[in-house]
Each structure stands twice: as structure tokens, then as C-alpha cells.
A = this chain, B = another copy of it.
Amino acid sequence: MTNEELLSNATLQSMKQVLGRFDKGLADLSDADFQKRVSPGRNRLYYLLGHLTAVHDRLLPLLFIGERLHPELDEAFITSPDGSASDSVSVAELRKAWTEINARLTAALERFSPEDWLHRHAAVSEEDFAADPTRNRLAVVISRTNHLSFHTGQFVLAK
């Protein structure tokens, strides 16, 4: 590997590792466990899984990988806080969407060259990106990996 490949590969490996740990935790939970809260009065695991699934689905267009697979999740899991809507999506459906989205995402990221990683993300204009090239796809993936770690820390408390 070149130095550039080593540098960008570290972010991909980190994302896959954090995803792998989270998925191991998911596999140990029954569907009923998803009604548990991470702490009294806080989010249910059901809501957190929906939230993470919607956020990762948004990465597909944000990283110019493709169209969203599940835009219908935003209303219940991003726009609204936990408990404000009826649970219209089953845990089985959330598990399936989570797996599909991350498989799509990691398959695309594994084909990225260092130059691909340094390409702008879709929420910044070409003009703004020219002035600040740190607003790239690598920065987005690092940020979302930290976001997943943040909620993984909460997830483990409900065990």
C-alpha cells in the first residue's frame, strides 16, 4: 500500500470495526429487548437503531454512493424524538434495513481510492469546497463512525 492508501484505509478499518462491535451486540438482543431504555427516561434501543439506520442511509447520497434505500425512516427516527410516533416499523424490518444499508455503504467505500476519499461530500458546494478541502468524504465517515461509537456506548447500558 502507498502512504495515501495506508492513511485512508485506517478510517475504513475503523468504521468496519465499530460496525462489527455494534452488530455483535445486536445479535445478542431479542426483539423484545429493543423496548429497553439506555437509562430511565432516555431513548429505547428501538429508537436508537432506527436513528442510526436513518443516519447511515443518508450517507449514501451524502457520499455520492447512490440513492437512499429507506428515506421513510426520517420522520420517526430523525425528525421526531422517541415515543412521539407509533412504532410503525418492526424490529425485524429495522435490523434488515440496517444490514442492507451498511453492506451497500462498506462495499462502496472499499472501492474508494485516496482521491475518492478526498472528494467533496454532497452537502458542500464546489465553490465552498475549493476554499476548504477538509470538507471531504473522509471527514464525513470519521464523523459518523464517532456518532456510532457514541450511541454504542449507550446501547451497551441496556443489557
- Cα distance A138–B108 in the bound complex, in angstroms: 23
- How extensive is the interface on chain A, given as a class? 35 or more
Contact residues, A113-159 vs B (CB, 8 A): 114-115, 117-118, 133-134, 136, 138-139, 142-143, 145-147, 149-154, 157
- Cα distance A114–B18 in the bound complex, in angstroms: 24
Task: Provide the residues of chain B in CB contact with A1, threshold 8 Å.
Answer: 133
In the complex, how many angstroms separate the beta carbon of A21 from the nearest chain B beta carbon?
Answer: 9
Copies per complex of this chain: 2
Please judge, given known A-B contacts A42-B157, A142-B10, A151-B153, whether A3 and B114 are in contact too, CB under 8 Å: yes
Contact residues, A72-117 vs B (CB, 8 A): 114-115, 117
Contact residues, A1-17 vs B (CB, 8 A): 1, 3-4, 6-11, 13-14
**CB of A35 within 8 A of chain B?**
no
In the complex, how many angstroms separate the beta carbon of A141 from the nearest chain B beta carbon?
Answer: 9
**CB of A38 within 8 A of chain B?**
yes
Task: Provide the residues of chain B in CB contact with A143, threshold 8 Å.
Answer: 14
The answer to whether A136 touches B10, judged by C-beta atoms less than 8 angstroms apart, is yes
- Cα distance A149–B18 in the bound complex, in angstroms: 11
Contact residues, A25-47 vs B (CB, 8 A): 38-40, 42
- Cα distance A29–B84 in the bound complex, in angstroms: 29
